[in-house]
Amino acid sequence: MQLLVYGYGNPGRQDDGLGIELVKKLEEWAVESGLDYVEFENNYQLNIEDAEAISGKDLVIFADASKEDIEDFCLSRVDGSGKLSFTTHAASPAYVLELCKELFQKEPLVLLLHIKGHEWDFKEGISDRAMENFEKALAYMKIILEKPDLIMKINAKFKTC
């Protein structure tokens, strides 16, 4: 199984750095745990080049901060019907998946982990309220990364948004 966890966001905008912080912590844990089948990546935003990065994977989990009305975190399946959007993140996970299908004829299972953020000021550091959500998401992701074949078998039936 080839698995990629990709966090994105801006750590200079407080809770917008949740996805990047999650990847850092998960990568440290995965190295200590010997999970050599998991790759990690992070960036300020998704780019069209990421379509190639996900093309050789079975499972891709993007992680990002969320302003949505969710309790703490949730995981959603990305269906690949995305359009390029001009927001703080230039390309959405759905757009990257669509490019992957179009350019490489590959369609990995792609999920998006939404972590509820609360503060978006121009400064570094995750807010205390968001850190509680972060810790819950981190614990949940460790379970998934230990048994990724389970997610593939149940076809992404998990704590959904």
* Domain-located, residue 55: yes
Residue 158: per-residue pLDDT = 54
Q: Both tokens of residue 155?
A: 């076809």
Number of domains in the chain: 1
Residue 159 counted as domain residue: no
Q: Which domain holds residue 78?
A: 3-153
| Residue 158 domain flag | no
Residue 139, in any domain of the structure: yes
- Residue 79 is predicted with a pLDDT of 83
Does the residue 51 lie in any domain? yes
* Residue 71 placed within a domain: yes
Answer yes or no: is 50 within a domain: yes
Order the strands of the 38-43 sheet from edge to edge. Answer: 38-43, 3-8, 59-66, 109-116, 73-77
Q: Which regions of the chain are under pLDDT 50? A: 86-89, 156
User: Could you read off the pLDDT of 77-118 as tens digits, one per residue?
Assistant: 998 665 555 444 468 999 999 999 999 999 999 999 999 999
CATH of the domain at 134: 3.40.50.1450
pLDDT value for 81: 65
Global confidence as pTM: 0.91
**Does residue 87 sit within a domain?**
yes
* C-alpha neighbours within 13 Å on the C-beta side of residue 95: 13
Q: φ, ψ for residue 2 (rounded to 5)?
A: -105, 120
